Every structure is written in C-alpha cells, then in structure tokens.
Structure 1
C-alpha cells in the first residue's frame, strides 16, 4: 500500500458476492459472533464500517479458501480489482494433537463434531491446549491488500472479513481450515481416537452370566449394546419433523419456534445417553 491515500467511491459491479445481511448483525450463529467480536477488538472501527458497506453492496468479487487463509478479489475505485489475502497463524501439530485429545475425551464434543455441528464450549478444548480457535491478538491475523490505503487493515480487507463471517455461518469447520487443519483431518482424527477406545473396550470379552442370574434385569439394556457402532450424520434439514408437520391452524403463535428449543434439548440429552456421558457424569458426582 502507498503512503498517500484519498477516499473515493467504488466502481459498481453486479458480479459480486453480496452479503445476505442488509442491516444490523452479520452473524447468525455463536461462532460467527465470536469471529466478528474478535475483529471488533483488533481492527479500526471506521474501516470496519466502510467494509461492512462494501460487503453489502457486493464489492467482493470472489473468495478462494485455502489452508491457513483465503485469497479474495474486491472491486474498489480502480478498474482492476484489488487482491486481498487474509490468514490466521496456524496452530502447531503438537497443539492440534492436544486439541484432538481434549475433543475426543468429551463424548458430546465428538458427537456434535461428527454430526457437522460446532459445540458451544469448544473453546475450552483449545484453551486447554494453550491455543485459541479465534484470533486473540493482532499478530495472529495476517492481512494484505493491493490498494493504496496505508492502513494495516483497509475497507477492502474488512469487506472480505464480513463475507467470510457469513461463510462461517454455513460452514463452521472453515475456522479449523484457517488454523491449519481441514474438517476432514479433524473428523478423521476423532474417529481414529474413538476406534482406539472401542478396541480397548472389546479386547477382553467377559463370560456371559446364566439366564437365571439375569432374570431380574430382563428389561434393562444389555452391555452388548455398547459394542454397536452408531454412525452419526448431520440431518439434511434441521428440525425436519417440525418443518414437515407445519404450522397447525388452531395455534396463533409460531409453534415451530416455541418447540425448537425443546427438540434441541432432547437431541442433546439423547446423545449424552447414547454415548454414555450422562452415566459417567452421575458416577463422578457420587
């Protein structure tokens, strides 16, 4: 970027990636809110404001994802689009292994990640490994732009940050990619850890008790259920049953919105029971 810079109007384009957000917040999910909060603490408020306007006008022409960052093209006031590069300091291999160990140690963490969801308290696993999922200091965020603005982070870079935030809403695992690990690598490592635990549990097969000794436990779930391999996949449509049933005519309020928290809580409880986390928690409390 050059030393001298004068504010100018951007060239209008219809080829851009126009932000879905037209006013107010860009974030829909908690992880996107955390990303924007981190930017608010690290970047210049004025350029963030202008970058938000650029994002909503559709000045960001393209974003190419890559390990450790993204490369983007932004249409500014000149005929040739500016190139913007944004990257995060990658997490080291040893730190990633500690993060994977922490994630695999919590059944609900593993279940949500394998289902394509981001656990609300996943930052605990990263902080326990001595690292952060989101940028916590300016040195972790690496940015560059070919525009003449001498600022470390210009409005073109800020615009890409906001479009990237909407990408996070759609794909939270993009955060892992920016930190140096693809979603496939993280999921594969979690499955490998779970496979090792399963092998340890099934190495020794205990002798089955006699039928007479087990009559009193006839209606209880047998230990053999633990060996069943349950494959958890993300639903094609969230809350699909509620959406399929639709809004009943005898209720004035949005019944789907009212029932959604209950359905989500029941799903979480079912995952805990299925993966044995609730049982282990009760034993610890005793």
Structure 2
C-alpha cells in the first residue's frame, strides 16, 4: 500500500454519515462463521492497526460498503479530506467445484434445514474439505487494497471495513457464499428446496369451512385425519449437534465426558419412546 515506512497514526476527520458498528465493546460478532472471518484478518495485523481499525468501525468512519460480483468496495474517512478507497476481492469457486460441494451438501439434510433458518452449520467446512476445497479464502484467494499511505498489508482502513463486513456476515451467512460465486437462491435451488426470501412462498389451497350445524354435531368426535397422525422420534442425524454448535464449554475442557453422557441420555430416551409406542400399540389392539 504505502512506501512511507515512518507512517504515524493520525486522528481521523469525524463524520456523522458513516456506518457505525453495532458492537460498542467486547466481541464484534456472535456466530462462528463471522468469527472465523475476523480471526483470519486479525492474524495478519499488528495490534495497533487492529485497535485503530476497530475504533474506526465503532465511530462510523466507514462511509459506504457495497457488495458485487465477489468484491467488497468501501470508502473510509481517514485523516485526509478525501475518503480512502478500499477493495476486498475474493476468488470465486469454479462452477465444477460448486457442483461437487452442492452434491456433498445435499447428502446432509440437516445442512439444508440450518441454511433455511439463516444459519451456517459448523460442519459445513468438513463438506468442503471432503472435496478438497475451502469455504473461507486463504491469503492467495483474497486480494485487498487501500489507497492510503500506510505500508502495511492490512491497514486500519481495511481493518475497519473487515469489522463492518463481519457484522454483515453475522446477519447473513449467505454473503460469504455470494462472494464465493453462489447466491442463496442458487444454493437452495440446487439442494432441492426454495426459500421464502426469494419471494416464492407457496399459497395454501383454499378450503371452505364446514357448516355450523355439522360442526356442532361432531364437535366432540375425532376427525378422520386423527387416524393418520403419527410422530416418529429418532436420534440426531449428526453426532452431538449442540456440542458442535456451541463449542467446547469453559467449565469442562474435555468434551469426551459430555459426549459419553449425551450418548447415554439419547439411548435412554429412545428406549423410553420405543416402550411407549409398544404399550400404545398393545392398548390400541385391546380396544379393537
């Protein structure tokens, strides 16, 4: 970026037109995928620029941030009157790679359920790694640039943009997919489902209400649909989903103790369900 190795921090011009980070202190993000994005950036930055970038983000020095075609473009108000221009470009995955990844994701229904809920399952990285790909870009796949006079690879202006971008990731995990070359609609369609976000909600078929006299006559009688009602309880489709999502607890550094108890509780719960189903089947047969 800069050729000035004696660059010293300067106070930025204050503005009330910028994007202020929601975080006022402490952690910037809540979800694991946004934390991963920040962690990658923080590993290559020195502490001083990191702190100034965080301060810039919280003060609203990032004037704009736009996303388009795998690229983030932003303007950051620094110490000069003209805002600095920042660009972050990700290398999109080739279409053949996406097809391989989507085929792997389609084999795991709980991935689809979490994506529909606006969450990114933590095990999704395993699906990418299984086909020798990475969801999060490495340094070679990430091009960053700022026209400020700072010499560092990642200056405070870039850091500020990364913090605001991480908050966007926190709200919308599909942003990372878009930067990698696939929209939410593309992914959900490839996984055999649709998203209400895309504006394609199914309209339920209209059914006329039964007449009042019929309703009163049969009010205390079960309808024919009750015979078709059934509940099936099975074990989790992925091992230890809660532990995987929440991570290692502070009070118990080794998850193997919790995993053993989770296995036992799951086994007892399923045995209880089977017993209840068997007893209900016997009771129903006796009544008939």
TM-score tier after normalising by the smaller chain length: 0.5 to 0.7
Q: In the alignment, is residue 10 of structure 1 matched against residue 1 of structure 2? A: no
**Which residue of 1 is the match for residue 165 of structure 2?**
164
Note closer, same or farther for the CA distance 1:94–1:42 as it changes in structure 2 (3 Å cut): farther
Q: Which runs of 5+ in 2 are unaligned?
A: 195-226, 232-265, 267-288
Pick one of 96, 100, 103 that aligns with 1:101: 103
State the match for 1:63 in structure 2.
65
SS in 1 for 2:26: coil
1:26-63 Cα deviation digits (max 9, x unpaired): 01111111111222223333322211111011100010
Where does residue 144 of structure 1 map in the other structure?
145
Cα displacement string for residues 73-127 of structure 1 (whole angstroms, at most 9, x for unaligned residues): 1000111111100122221211111110111000111222233321121111111
Could you list the per-position Cα deviations for residues 193-246 of structure 1 after superposition, in whole angstroms to 9, with x for gaps in the alignment?
9xxxxxxxxxxxxxxxxxxxxxxxx77859xxxxxxxxxxxxxxxxxxxxxxxx
- Distance change in 2, residues 1:220/1:15 (3 Å): closer
Q: Which has the larger radius of gyration?
A: 2
Matched, 1:49 2:57: no
Rounded Cα–Cα distance in structure 2 between residues aligned with 1:154 and 1:192: 42
For 2:86 and 2:49, locate their aligned partners in 1 and report how far apart those are by CA, in whole Å. Answer: 15
The answer on whether the counterparts of 1:74 and 1:156 sit within 8 Å (CA) in structure 2 is: yes
- TM-score normalised by length of structure 1: 0.64
Compared with structure 1, are the counterparts of its residues 2 and 42 closer, same or farther at alpha carbon in structure 2 (3 Å cutoff)?
closer
1:10 and 1:77 in contact (8 A); partners too: yes
Distance, in Å, in 2 between the alignment partners of 1:40 and 1:6 is: 20
Unaligned runs of 5+ in 1: 194-217, 223-268, 270-286
Q: Deviations over 1:252-283 (max 9, x none)?
A: xxxxxxxxxxxxxxxxx9xxxxxxxxxxxxxx
Distance in 2 between residues matched to 1:219 and 1:83, nearest whole Å: 62
Aligned residues of 2:13 and 2:81 also touching (Cα < 8 A): yes
Using a 3 Å threshold, how does the CA distance of structure 1 residues 19 and 123 change in structure 2: closer, same or farther? same
Whole-Å separation in 2 of the counterparts to 1:53 and 1:192: 42
* Comparing 122-131 and 7-16, the one that deviates more: 122-131
TM alignment of 1:1-286, pairs within 5 A: 1-4=1-4, 5-135=7-137, 137-191=138-192
